[in-house]
Structure 1
Amino acid sequence: MMPTPISECLYCQKNETLDRLMIKIGDLEVSQLFLFKEQSHPGRLNVVYKDHGIEFHELSDEQRNAFMKDVASAAKAIATIFNPDKINYGAFADTLSHLHMHVVPKYKDGYGFGSVIEMNPQKVALTDTAYAELVEQFKTQLSFPVQ
């Protein structure tokens, strides 16, 4: 399969598809952090590597460690804010050639516990105010400037 060209990458183009799916929280060391709008898993985030078309195994040790530090920071923020029973991680990218990691809190009595995460089940949407409050919580937890 051919890699997704940059011109078709929602993360690189920062296009309407990205805006429909996620809200940018801020920049981490080598990544951008996004809140998924679909919140069947309350607190679900996406950590998106800064460069396009890179596979995980192609990262240098320094790049990999920095990326995983970003992922761990996102997970720690989820754990602090939401106290989930488990956090799942997913780096799929079958159809989008841009390294990213889904960070998905799971709750024992919650949606999809004990199963593989659905990418976009389209079951739970929040109000604009609720999204804004969540973004601010993450910004505060991760020491991003709150706007």
Structure 2
Amino acid sequence: MSTPFSECLYCQDNELLHSLMIKICDLEVSKLFLFKEQSYLGRCNVVYKDHGVEFHELSDEQRNAFMNDVAKVAKAIDTAFQPAKINYGAYADTLSHLHMHIVPKHKDGYGFGGVFEMNPQKTTLSEAEYIELIEKIKMGL
């Protein structure tokens, strides 16, 4: 069952979205957000511009543009944070909006060697620290 547009976290750009993430910028066909929960330093979300779209429903051009946005963000995160591995997650069981989690992981860091936790609620930062992370990511874009 798909989430109605009127209830979509990303489309409504509401208080809940802003309590979870900080918008970094617009990309070619997506928006880039930094998660406020930073157990995985630099964890971001690339959110497709249109609501209710499944990955397989995109045209070749749309899919390539979305994946180009994802790759561009991953490269910026790799440059900024030099993780041992970047995990990618495209979940949307309860939210019908195409998005891709970009999760940098470090060998001695939180959750390395396993599936990343969606929202572990272990690490939040100061406003200045969020700004610093965002600037590091933007430099790589």
Q: Once the two structures are superposed, what CA deviation does each residue of 1:73-99 show, in whole Å capped at 9, x if it has no partner?
A: 000000000000000000010000000
Give, as a single letter, the amino acid of the residue that structure 2 aligns with 1:111: Y
> Residue 31 in 1 paired to residue 1 in 2?
no
Where does residue 44 of structure 1 map in the other structure?
A: 43
Q: What SS does structure 2 have at the residue aligned with 1:42?
A: coil
Q: Distance in 2 between matches of 1:115 and 1:140?
A: 29
Q: Once superposed, what is the RMSD of the aligned Cα atoms?
A: 0.6
Where does residue 145 of structure 1 map in the other structure?
A: none
Q: Distance in 2 between matches of 1:93 and 1:61?
A: 21
Q: TM-score, normalised by structure 2?
A: 0.98
Where does residue 135 of structure 1 map in the other structure?
A: 134
The 8 Å contact of residues 76 and 139 in structure 2, kept in 1 or not, is answered as: no
Q: What SS does structure 2 have at the residue aligned with 1:101?
A: strand
Q: Distance in 1 between matches of 2:19 and 2:112?
A: 25
Q: Distance in 1 between matches of 2:71 and 2:94?
A: 25
Q: What SS does structure 1 have at the residue aligned with 2:53?
A: coil
Give, as a single letter, the amino acid of the residue that structure 1 aligns with 2:139: T
Query: Percent of counterpart pairs with the same letter?
Result: 74
- Runs of 4+ with >6 A deviation: none
Which residues in structure 2 correspond to 1:1-147 (within 5 Å)? 2-142=1-141
Q: TM-score, normalised by structure 1?
A: 0.94
The 8 Å contact of residues 76 and 138 in structure 2, kept in 1 or not, is answered as: no
Measure how far apart 1:137 and its partner are: 1.9
Equivalenced residues, count? 141
Q: Distance in 1 between matches of 2:8 and 2:25?
A: 19
The 8 Å contact of residues 31 and 48 in structure 2, kept in 1 or not, is answered as: yes
Measure how far apart 1:139 and its partner are: 2.0
